[in-house]
Amino acid sequence: MKAAIYCRLSKEDEGKNGESESIQNQKSMLTAYAAEKGFEVYWIYSDEDYSGIDRERPAFNAMIQAASEHKFDVVLAKTQSRFTRDMELVEKYLHGKFIEWGIRFIAVVDHVDTGEAANKKSRQINGLINEWYLEDLSNNVRAVLDHKRREGLFIGSFALYGYCKAPDAKGKLVIDPEAAEVVRRIFALALSGMGAHKIAQILNNEGIPSPTAYKQLHGAQYHAAMKKTDYSLWGSPTVYQMLHNQTYIGDLVQGRHKKVGYKSKKTVWLPKSQWIVVENTHEPIIDRDTFETVQRMLAARTRSGVQGTIHPLAKKVVCGCCGSYMEQTAHQPRADGVQRRYVRCRMHQRAPERCSNKTCTDLNALENTVRERIREYAEVYVDPEKVELPQRDDPVRQRAQAKRSELKRLQCEADRRRRALQQLYLDKVSGLIDATQFSEMNRAFGEEIKSAENRIRGLEAELEQQPEETDAAPTQRQRVRELAQVSHLTRELAVLLVRRVIVGTKDPLTGQQEITIEWAF
């Protein structure tokens, strides 16, 4: 009789049972057993670094294919769990296909033998125990990973574009200067009113590598999950996701998706309320004010115009007759080459019987009206001699602010690590982690707390010795004057200040049109 030998070693087995579970040990034991029973070894199939629940094991599937072709009579494995930990596969092959194909299965150590009908129940019990083991292991691993996420440790294989893994601090992110500049530019373009598609087009035209291409150029074995034909090009979904990613302001966002179960590789996206977000874990690339402004602009997003930009009042102009949005339209250029832009009621275009406002309103004039009213408010309510604005371009102030931000981040981090040490003991008592994991994590957390405390003392000493800031009043007054002299209406300014602009119908006698602005402040 010919026998196929099957050996398997998974990552969870390594270090747990040492050499006793090694592939070489399994081969030696099963080869000796085959010789003892007088079996001729047809082939030795071996899978390394594959879980017993994995149905994509190459050697396992090759053996099953050979079995279906009746190339051997017996399958030998050290234990039933080496063959599979999946109860469904136990029933499919041990109690189904192998019987049809006339193949006998023998697990040497736990005395499983399909040639003996009496031990079928024991095989099924073994299958259930093996599957329960994997389920418990999966739950424990998930609990440990979630614990690390809540402590502000990055556990991903690859850092988010704009960052890289800190070489001297496991689970920490540091800024990648080259990629971070691209991130800053993307947010700046979004602030100017450009849509994601136009931003991606600009980056592609300038030959800037996409996040996937950038990682690959720097030696990372990275492959994007999204299905694209050309990974070297930027796409609007990539830009859009980056503009929404809170990690760029120093908050670590993880746990956005999870596997549907330990038997499946399929993942599902979780609602935002279930994401794990830890604030101030790393240095930000984008300041919070800029990020929040971009979020408001995205929330009020609309389709880009012909030039790939969104006009400042998009989705803010409404018809005074029916309350519907007024859409942009363009007329043919005049003789002097100037193209006039207009807005007209969406409802009147689609259902004239429901709205009588057929007027086309000059969009350029409308933007000028809003701009002038903003300037009027600024001149009336803002006194340049009294208002103080943050002096962002003062190097001394910038350094002090950076130190205060780092100090706050380190204090939060040290507090999280102290709480983690308390939780760590509870996890050990509850069996979520073993003694070895507890010892390693306890030591690592202790070292991180000590390092953070040393840096905190250093920053506090530096801030105490910080020279007094220079008088920034002249520059502040100049900034207020610039605000009061708005040269043109931007999308950013419209999103921040204007809730909506109500355009009334045009008076047929005077040609006048009432414009009402509802402010967002």
Q: What is d(CA 501, CA 517) in angstroms, rounded to the nearest whole number?
A: 5
- The per-residue pLDDT for 130 is 67
- The per-residue pLDDT for 397 is 63
Task: Choose among 169, 81, 68: nearest CA to 125.
Answer: 81
- The per-residue pLDDT for 105 is 92
pTM beyond cutoff 0.95: no
How would DSSP label each residue in 232-267? TS--HHHHHHHHH-GGGGT-EEE-SEEES-TT---E
- The per-residue pLDDT for 59 is 94
**For tokens 């136990």, what's the residue?**
90
Cβ burial, residue 119 (10 Å; 0-12/13-18/19+): middle
Please give the chain's pLDDT, 521 residues, in tens: 899 999 998 765 554 444 446 888 889 899 999 999 999 999 999 998 888 878 889 999 999 999 999 999 999 999 888 888 888 888 888 888 998 999 999 988 888 888 887 667 676 777 667 676 666 666 676 777 778 888 888 888 888 999 998 888 888 899 999 999 999 999 988 888 788 888 998 999 888 899 988 888 876 665 555 444 456 789 888 999 999 999 999 999 988 877 766 566 677 878 888 888 888 889 999 988 889 888 887 876 655 454 556 678 888 888 988 888 888 876 656 666 666 788 888 888 888 888 888 888 888 888 888 888 887 777 666 555 554 444 444 555 666 777 777 788 788 778 877 877 777 777 777 777 777 777 877 787 788 788 888 888 888 887 777 655 444 445 545 555 555 566 778 777 777 778 888 988 888 788 788 888 888 76
Given CA atoms 50, 110, 93, 76 in this order, what sign does their dihedral have? positive
- The per-residue pLDDT for 239 is 92
CA angle 251, 253, 254 (to 5 degrees): 150
- The per-residue pLDDT for 362 is 85
User: Three-state SS string across 165-210, please?
Assistant: ECCCCCCCEEECHHHHHHHHHHHHHHHCCECHHHHHHHHHHCCCCC
- The per-residue pLDDT for 61 is 93
CATH number 3.30.1360.120 is the correct assignment for the domain at 151-302: no
Q: What is d(CA 388, CA 384) in angstroms, rounded to the nearest whole number?
A: 8
- The per-residue pLDDT for 472 is 47
Level-2 CATH architecture, domain 2-139: 3-Layer(aba) Sandwich (3.40)
